[in-house]
């Protein structure tokens, strides 16, 4: 069974915690992680791009010239896609980019992301994170104590409170997520992942339910 040190906000080890072998088994499935990340990014897209067809642009009600006798090509509308100011042929239309993965595949991809972080020694366990104020200065001091200044980091917590919401939002390299909403993309899109002890326990339970 793997053990990992638990540190405080000053960066000092205070105890060790055992990782659940059912979750942290060392298996990293790159293909599953790729599919989960592609799905996540695709689901963020709105799909609102829209161009107008010849039937939607304004004008074009009158035939530009008579059908025969002018020597020019026959034309029915000056809003043809061939004309300046006309409609667009095969342009973008609003549609959904949503993708889905089976629940078990998503869970295994998440487990792989956790194992990848642990393998690369980018997983940090924090005993607790409860700033006494909403000041950015206080949270910046926490980063300094943990030697995480200028490091892209995600803090995974059990639940938000007002101080946690406000104290980190001006720090562009810091993202905060709850254990219930953490996903493979957020986990892998950072240099370090810091879990509180309570969040780690809930993450492990969340993964084991779907295995």
Domain ranges of the chain: 3-30+100-209, 46-96
Angle between helices 30-44 and 103-119 (to 10 degrees): 110
Please determine, for residue 83, whether its predicted confidence score (pLDDT) is greater than 70.
Answer: yes
Specify whether the CB–CB gap between 115 and 22 falls below 8 A.
Answer: no
Handedness of CA 103, 106, 111, 114 (dihedral sign): negative
- 56 CB-near residues (< 8 Å, 6+ apart): 87
Please determine, for residue 122, whether its predicted confidence score (pLDDT) is greater than 90.
Answer: yes
* Average per-residue pLDDT for the chain: 92
**pLDDT for residue 174:** 94
Please determine, for residue 78, whether its predicted confidence score (pLDDT) is greater than 70.
Answer: yes
CA distances from 144 to 24, 94, 161, 189 (A): 28, 46, 22, 21
Model-level pTM?
0.85
Please determine, for residue 28, whether its predicted confidence score (pLDDT) is greater than 90.
Answer: yes
Please determine, for residue 11, whether its predicted confidence score (pLDDT) is greater than 90.
Answer: no
Residue (of 60, 202, 195, 66) closest to 122 by Cα position:
195
The average pLDDT across 86-106 equals 95
The average pLDDT across 176-203 equals 94
**pLDDT for residue 1:** 60
| pLDDT grade for 47, boundaries at 50, 70 and 90 | very high
**pLDDT for residue 210:** 80
The percent of residues in the chain predicted with pLDDT above 70, rounded, is 100
pLDDT tens digits along 128-156:
888 888 899 999 999 998 999 889 999 99
| pLDDT grade for 64, boundaries at 50, 70 and 90 | very high
3-30+100-209 CATH:
3.40.1370.10
| pLDDT grade for 195, boundaries at 50, 70 and 90 | very high
**pLDDT for residue 160:** 87
Could you give the residue ranges of the DSSP H alpha helices within 100-161? 103-119, 136-145
Handedness of CA 68, 70, 75, 78 (dihedral sign): negative
Please determine, for residue 61, whether its predicted confidence score (pLDDT) is greater than 70.
Answer: yes
Residue (of 211, 2, 1) closest to 117 by Cα position:
2
**pLDDT for residue 132:** 84
**pLDDT for residue 58:** 93
């Amino acid at each position: 069974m793997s053990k990992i040190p638990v540190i405080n906000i000053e960066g000092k080890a205070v105890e060790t915690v055992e990782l659940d072998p059912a979750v942290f088994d060392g298996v990293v499935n790159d293909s599953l992680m790729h599919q989960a990340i592609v799905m996540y990014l695709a689901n963020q897209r709105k799909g609102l791009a829209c161009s107008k067809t010849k039937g939607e642009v304004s004008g074009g009600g009158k035939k530009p010239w008579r059908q025969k006798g002018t020597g020019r090509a026959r034309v029915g509308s000056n809003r043809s896609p061939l004309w300046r100011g006309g409609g667009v042929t095969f342009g973008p239309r609003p549609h959904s980019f949503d993708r889905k993965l089976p629940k078990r595949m998503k869970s295994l991809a998440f487990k792989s992301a956790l194992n990848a972080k642990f393998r690369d020694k980018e997983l940090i366990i924090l005993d607790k994170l409860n700033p006494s104020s909403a000041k950015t200065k206080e949270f910046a001091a926490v980063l300094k104590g943990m030697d995480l200044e200028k490091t892209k980091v995600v803090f995974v917590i059990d639940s938000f409170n007002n101080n946690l919401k406000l104290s980190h939002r001006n720090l562009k390299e810091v993202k905060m997520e709850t254990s219930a909403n953490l996903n493979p993309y957020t986990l892998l899109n950072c240099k370090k992942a810091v879990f509180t002890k309570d969040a780690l326990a809930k993450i492990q339970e969340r993964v084991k339910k779907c295995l």
